[in-house]
């Protein structure tokens, strides 16, 4: 399914939708997430969340994230009167799918195009389910999280960038958890230890973002931190 140029036209679009639904059913059989029956088997449930994320992963993997987002947004715009919660849920999970494609390319490097379609799809499905089980996806339109605040609602340790002083002051238990992220950033930063001065320069250059103190929708407080740019 790597040729999706006619995605917006019939019968190409119907074929693509069928492919995504089949992938959703296959993943549900393997991982056991929530899925209904009949016409609304993948509507406002975990299967719905998976389907949207997998669709955007597929488009991003083969067409690029920009094209994937254009098509995903176009699909949402086709139902302008859809309830806010349903649209919010779809946009959120679409972004998760694009994120999975980005993560896979980053992790695989130049070897990403050596994967068969089947192997790539299996890896993507596993990653999407892992994110779902960690609570990173929206599986119910009544979820209070908002797509426009997505990067603030989803604080992932993998997104954070620690200064050397911040890392040094962690407890040994937290250091163990944060070590891989810290070392990855040192490597990505041309083996330069990320001092606060260095991180501020990278914020000014647009490479990183600094997020000020804020409160999540559940009321929990999050201290300010440096982070990589969110994948949208």
Same-domain status, 26 and 116:
yes
The answer as to whether 2 is a domain residue is no
Domain total of the chain: 2
Q: What is the DSSP letter of 195?
A: -
| pLDDT score at 112 | 72
Residues 167 and 133 in one domain: no
In a domain, 134, yes or no: yes
Question: Is residue 7 included in any domain, yes or no?
Answer: no
- Tell me, yes or no, whether 120 and 19 share the same domain: yes
**What string of pLDDT tens digits covers the 232 residues of the chain?**
444 455 555 567 888 999 999 999 999 999 999 999 988 899 999 999 999 999 999 999 999 999 999 999 988 888 888 899 999 999 999 999 998 998 888 888 777 778 899 999 999 999 999 999 988 899 999 998 888 877 666 655 567 888 888 888 888 877 887 787 788 888 888 888 889 999 999 889 988 888 777 776 667 777 788 887 765 5
On whether both 130 and 64 belong to a single domain, the answer is yes
What's the pLDDT score for residue 1?
46
| 167 in the same domain as 148 | no
Task: Sort 1 into a burial class: Cβ within 10 Å, 0-12 / 13-18 / 19+.
Answer: middle
How far apart CA 88 and CA 142 sit, in angstroms, is: 10
Tell me, what's the pLDDT at 6? 52
pLDDT, residue 152, reads 60
Looking at the domain assignment, is residue 45 inside a domain? Answer: yes
**Domain that residue 215 falls in:** 160-228
Question: What was the pLDDT predicted at 26?
Answer: 97
Within a domain: 84: yes
Final residue in a domain of this structure, among 138, 153, 168: 153
The reported pLDDT for the residue numbered 98 is 93
* Judgement on whether residues 92 and 201 belong to the same structural domain of the protein: no
Last residue of a domain, one of 122, 153, 184: 153
Q: Is the four-CA dihedral 165, 205, 111, 119 of positive or negative sign?
A: positive
One domain for residues 197 and 83? no
């Amino acid at each position: 399914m790597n040729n999706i140029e006619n995605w917006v036209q019939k019968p190409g679009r119907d074929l693509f939708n069928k492919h995504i639904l089949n992938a959703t059913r296959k993943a549900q059989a393997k991982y056991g997430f929530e899925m209904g029956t009949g016409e609304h088997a993948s509507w406002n449930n975990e299967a719905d969340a998976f389907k949207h994320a997998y669709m955007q992963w597929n488009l991003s993997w083969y067409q690029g994230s920009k094209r994937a987002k254009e098509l995903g947004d176009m699909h949402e715009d086709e139902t302008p009167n859809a309830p806010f919660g349903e649209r919010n849920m779809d946009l959120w999970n679409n972004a998760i799918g694009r994120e999975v494609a980005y993560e896979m390319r980053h992790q695989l490097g130049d070897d990403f195009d050596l994967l068969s379609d089947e192997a790539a799809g299996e890896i993507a499905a596993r990653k999407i389910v892992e994110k779902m089980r960690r609570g990173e996806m929206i599986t119910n339109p009544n979820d209070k999280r908002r797509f426009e605040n997505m990067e603030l609602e989803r604080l992932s340790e993998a997104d954070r960038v620690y200064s050397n002083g911040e890392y040094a002051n962690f407890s040994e238990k937290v250091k163990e958890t944060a070590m891989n992220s810290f070392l990855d950033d040192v490597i990505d930063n041309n083996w330069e230890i990320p001092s606060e001065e260095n991180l501020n320069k990278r914020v000014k250059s647009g490479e990183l973002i600094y997020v000020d103190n804020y409160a999540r929708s559940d009321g929990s407080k999050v201290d300010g931190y440096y982070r990589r740019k969110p994948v949208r």
